Amino acid sequence: MSGGNPDVVIIGAGIVGAAIAERLSAERLKVIVVEADCAGSGATAAGMGHVVVMDDSEAQFALTAYSRRLWQEKEACWPKAAEYRRPGTLWVAADAEEFAAVEHKHAWYGAHGVQSEILTAGDLAREEPQLRPGLAGALRVPEDMVVYPPAAARWLVERARRQGAVYMQGARVEHTTGSVVTLASGTVLHTGGVIHAAGAQGGHLPVTIPVAPRKGHLAITDRAPGFLRHQIVELGYLKSAHGHETESVACNLQPRATGQVLIGSSRQYGVHTAAVELPMLHRMLRRALEYMPGLAGLPVVRTWTGFRAATPDGLPLIGRAPQCEGLWLATGHEGLGITTSLATAELLAAQMLGREAAIPAEPYSPSRFGEKSAHA
């Protein structure tokens, strides 16, 4: 970057901030990325890294399907550390009622151009022998992926740097407006614009935004190569993800490139401490065991938690912040920010550069919650 003020300061080098930095620096904007910890260290270090197409709403579908395509287009670029693989997703139906939903989902995906196939109970048992007997079947979405998000974020930051972006690691933003960013060190940055990509954290913002932290637990086993082949998600997951109960769990199992099994998932509102909570872990693991009893014997090497940035309607905030000139938002991705990071960057870049985007951006516009966000 040559002298003068930056065009934009990006707050946060999680997967979202990193993707935006890569995108905008490729467009020759002068970019500074300010990261309090290190690249990919927030929710990005905690998430499962399932890149998945979702069908719960047209808007969610558009964003996830577009973004999955972007992940795929970069297939040859991702470094080995990003562990980019395509094991596919199995949406597992426990009973006949859920199997009916599988058929519906299959038709819906078909109508929207996403490949999927129905597995009968017998197919399912052959594909994933560790699942308990008696399940009704599943929908396989073969093109869904699994990645290691912190490495992907780091690579995006590296690429942004090669394109001229300045990366400030270990620098916390204390306060920001749309044009002046104050760091904890006392340094003040003057800038053409500010992008808030700090995930579930927002204390430095001049306005309040409708984002609440939603805590999740994960557990990872020791290596058990071949134990699992697909990402396995119970169909009830959607209920857990999109319900507004204060607490819920769903069976969500992932084969890691290392041969480990990553076990999720839980959702809690209103908890702000990062500590692993045993009752929640119990519930989550028991749910997993209901689907895959053989997991009981695998050793768990670590458990941890992370915070999803949840919005009232489950869709992210991508675009201008209401009531604050120069401030842009890129947060609120809840449990899908790894998947939707690349599309987020494209949508934001299009808006900032006044270009047309590949998909309509309105559903994610921060102004949908009204122009009047309260001042913090």
Ligand X SMILES: Cc1cc2nc3c(=O)[nH]c(=O)nc-3n(C[C@H](O)[C@H](O)[C@H](O)COP(=O)(O)OP(=O)(O)OC[C@H]3O[C@@H](n4cnc5c(N)ncnc54)[C@H](O)[C@@H]3O)c2cc1C
Positions touching other proteins (CB under 8 A) are 37-38, 40-41, 45, 81, 150-151, 154, 169-170, 219, 221-222, 258, 263, 276, 278-279, 281-282, 285-286, 288-289, 295-304
Q: Is 17 in the site for ligand X (CB under 6 A)?
A: yes
CA dist 288 and 262 (Å) reads 11
Contacts with ligand X by CB under 6 A: the residue count is 53
Asked if residue 15 binds ligand X (CB under 6 A), the reply is: yes
How far apart (Å, rounded) are the C-alpha atoms in residues 92 and 131? 10
Q: Contact between 87 and ligand X (CB under 6 A)?
A: no
Judged by CB under 6 A, the stretch of 22-30, 42-50, 283-291, 357-365 that binds ligand X is 42-50
Residues 183 and 307: their CA atoms lie apart, in Å, by 23
Binding to ligand X (CB under 6 A) within 115-174 occurs at 148-149, 172-173
Main-chain dihedrals φ then ψ at residue 216, nearest 5 degrees: -135, 145
Residue 265 belongs to what H/E stretch? strand 261-269
| Residue with the two structure tokens 């458990």 | 303
How many whole angstroms separate alpha carbon 209 and alpha carbon 314? 14
Which one of ligand X, other proteins, none is in contact with 218 (Cβ closer than 5 to 8 A by kind)? Answer: ligand X
Binding span for ligand X by CB under 6 A among 24-32, 34-42, 155-163, 348-356 = 34-42
Give 13 or 138: the residue with its C-beta nearer to other proteins.
13
Nearer to other proteins, 37 or 247 (CB): 37
Residue from 10, 24, 36, 65 touching ligand X (CB under 6 A): that is 36
* 48 contact, one of other proteins, ligand X, none, CB 5-8 Å limit per kind: ligand X
Q: Residue 170 or 370: which CB sits closer to other proteins?
A: 170
Query: For the purposes of burial, counting CB atoms within 10 Å of the CB of 364, is it exposed (0-12), middle (13-18) or buried (19 or more)?
Result: buried
* Shortest Cβ 277–other proteins spacing (Å): 10
Q: Which is nearer to other proteins, 118 or 289 (CB)?
A: 289
**Per-residue exposure over 254-285, b if at least 16 CB sit within 10 Å of its own CB, e if not:** bbbeeebbbbbbbbbeebeeeeebeebbebbb
Q: Give the strand pairing for 188-190 and 180-183.
A: antiparallel
Least distance from ligand X to the Cβ atom of residue 98, Å: 21
Strand order through the sheet with 317-320:
166-169, 31-35, 8-11, 194-196, 327-331, 317-320
Binding ligand X (rule: CB under 6 A), the pick from 116, 331, 365, 373 is 331
Shortest CB 180 distance to ligand X, Å: 14
Considering the complex, state which of residue 17 and residue 88 has its C-beta at the smaller distance from ligand X: 17
333 in contact with ligand X (CB under 6 A): yes
| Closest CB to ligand X among residues 34, 94 | 34
277 binds ligand X (CB under 6 A): no
Which uninterrupted H or E stretch holds 67? helix 58-73
Q: What is the DSSP letter of 130?
A: T
Cβ(151)–Cβ(79) below 8 Å? yes
Nearest to 88 by CA among 17, 28, 141: 141
Closest C-alpha among 294, 307, 311, 317 to residue 365: 317
> By C-beta, is 263 or 318 nearer to other proteins?
263
**Residue 198 interacts with which of other proteins, ligand X, none, CB < 5 to 8 Å by class:** ligand X
CB of 153 vs ligand X, minimal distance in Å = 7
The phi, psi pair for 85, rounded to 5°, reads -145, 165
CB atoms within 10 A of CB 170: 11
Residues that bind ligand X (CB under 6 A): 11-17, 34-37, 41-50, 148-149, 172-173, 197-199, 201, 204, 216, 218, 220, 260, 262, 264-265, 274-275, 301-302, 304-308, 331, 333, 335-339
